Structure 1
Amino acid sequence: MTISPASPLTLEQMRADIARMVHEQPEDIALDDNLMDLGLDSMRVLNLLVRWNESGIGLDFSEIAEHTTLQGWWSVVEQRLAQMQA
């Protein structure tokens, strides 16, 4: 599913995209799971960032790479969304 520029990125969308990438169910991805332990590698993360940046959020790999959990990634997204609305 492609996010249109008018659609903000949501935690649920991120969870679903990560789950698809690691062949899991979204409900099996907890906020504090180490995503690298679930099978994400740098190439998969880059693919996710390309998809998520279609929403216009402009995430950078280095921002995301500082975190290994969905909660950490969501915190980065929340900060970016707040900047976009300011």
Structure 2
Amino acid sequence: MPTSTLDRERIVADLAEALDVPAEQLTDDVNVLDLGLDSVRLMSLIERWRAAGALRADIAVLAADPVIGSWVRELTAD
């Protein structure tokens, strides 16, 4: 079974690219929906993260708690 190559740095970098904001702005308490992340970009990120081995990347789970810290915990959990 593949292991995830995702870590906080990669998740934040991908979000910064998708949102066109500096990564430094993306602290663990930031709600990405408030920054304009839409469902199309979220699906694109999920596909990228699944390809990196984050099998837990699920749109319903991430959309239910769209805070970066929660996403990092969910996507990097074993």
TM-score normalised according to structure 2 size? 0.86
Q: Indicate the residue corresponding to 2:75 in structure 1.
A: 77
Aligned residue pairs, count? 76
C-alpha offsets along residues 22-59 of structure 1, whole Å, 9 cap, x if unaligned?
Answer: 11111111110111111101111101001011112211
Q: Indicate the residue corresponding to 2:13 in structure 1.
A: 16
Point out which structure has higher relative CO (alpha carbons under 8 A, 6+ apart): 2
Which ranges of 4 or more aligned residues in structure 1 deviate by more than 2 Å? Answer: none
In structure 2, relative to structure 1, the CA distance for the partners of 1:47 and 1:27 (3 Å cut) is same
Which whole-Å CA distance do the structure 2 matches of 1:35 and 1:7 have between them? 22
Secondary structure at 2:16's aligned position in 1?
helix
Which whole-Å CA distance do the structure 2 matches of 1:50 and 1:18 have between them? 13
C-alpha offsets along residues 1-38 of structure 1, whole Å, 9 cap, x if unaligned?
Answer: xxxx6761011000011011111111111110111111
State the AA in 2 paired with 1:37.
D
Which whole-Å CA distance do the structure 2 matches of 1:38 and 1:65 have between them? 13
Which whole-Å CA distance do the structure 1 matches of 2:4 and 2:74 have between them? 17
RMSD: 1.6
Gaps spanning 5+ residues in structure 2: where? none
Q: Indicate the residue corresponding to 1:49 in structure 2.
A: 46
TM-score normalised according to structure 1 size? 0.79
